[in-house]
């Protein structure tokens, strides 16, 4: 089954376990500044929003890359950076409308989410299921189910 990351910001507490898991998985160090997923805090609203690459089907980053350094993992659908081909030109970072591919000055290459080869560490580390890895064709399943539960329900209608 093709899976996809699904994010529910309302469940996020801002603990950044996802950022630590990502940096540890990819770099072997606890270092949120090297995380491919970022949690944004909107203080005055009390909201936290995890954000990362959504793995576009027709990916702007991939289309823009002049060295064909961004390939597709057939098993996961992830757009993956081939560090051997990446020249660090950053054109992909300009092309991506969402800002989820970024330059890493330490290596001179770009980094982005690669779904950890099909077992994303961020989703495993998230304590509140704000980040889950689910059927790519049914990322809305839980939200649909929640609304379905409230539809035409006699006890709710009376309450």
38-67 residues in contact with another protein (CB under 8 A) are 43-48
Q: Please tell me whether residue 32 binds another protein under the rule CB under 8 A.
A: yes
Q: Which of 108, 109, 133 is nearest to 18 (CA)?
A: 133
CB 122 within 8 A of CB 18: yes
Q: How far apart are CA 33 and CA 18, in angstroms?
A: 12
Contacting another protein (CB under 8 A), which of 5, 59, 125, 131?
125
**What distance in Å separates the CA atoms of residue 107 and residue 140, rounded to the nearest whole number?**
37
The site that binds another protein (CB under 8 A) totals a number of residues, namely 26
Interface with another protein, residue 15, by CB under 8 A? yes
Which residues in 126-155 contact another protein (CB under 8 A)? 127-128
Answer whether 79's CB lies under 8 Å from 62's CB. Answer: yes
Q: How far is it, in rounded angstroms, from Cα 39 to Cα 19?
A: 8
Nearer residue to another protein within complex by CB, 41 or 67: 41
Instruction: In angstroms, give the least distance from the CB of 43 to another protein.
Output: 6
Binding status of residue 96 toward another protein by CB under 8 A: no
Q: List contacts with another protein (CB under 8 A).
A: 13-17, 20-21, 23-24, 27-34, 43-48, 125, 127-128
């Amino acid at each position: 089954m093709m899976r996809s990351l699904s994010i529910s910001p309302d469940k996020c507490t801002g603990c950044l376990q996802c950022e630590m898991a990502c940096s540890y998985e990819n770099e072997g160090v606890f270092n949120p500044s090297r995380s491919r997923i970022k949690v944004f805090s909107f203080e005055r609203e009390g909201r936290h929003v995890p954000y990362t690459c959504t793995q576009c089907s027709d990916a702007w980053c991939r289309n823009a890359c002049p060295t064909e350094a961004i390939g597709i993992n057939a098993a996961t659908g992830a757009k993956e950076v081939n560090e051997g081909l990446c020249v660090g030109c950053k054109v992909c970072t300009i092309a991506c409308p969402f800002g989820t591919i970024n330059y890493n000055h330490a290596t001179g290459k770009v980094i982005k989410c690669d779904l950890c080869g099909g077992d994303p560490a961020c989703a495993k580390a998230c304590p509140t299921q704000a980040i889950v890895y689910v059927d790519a064709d049914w990322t809305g399943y839980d939200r649909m189910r929640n609304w379905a539960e409230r539809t035409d329900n006699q006890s709710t209608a009376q309450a």
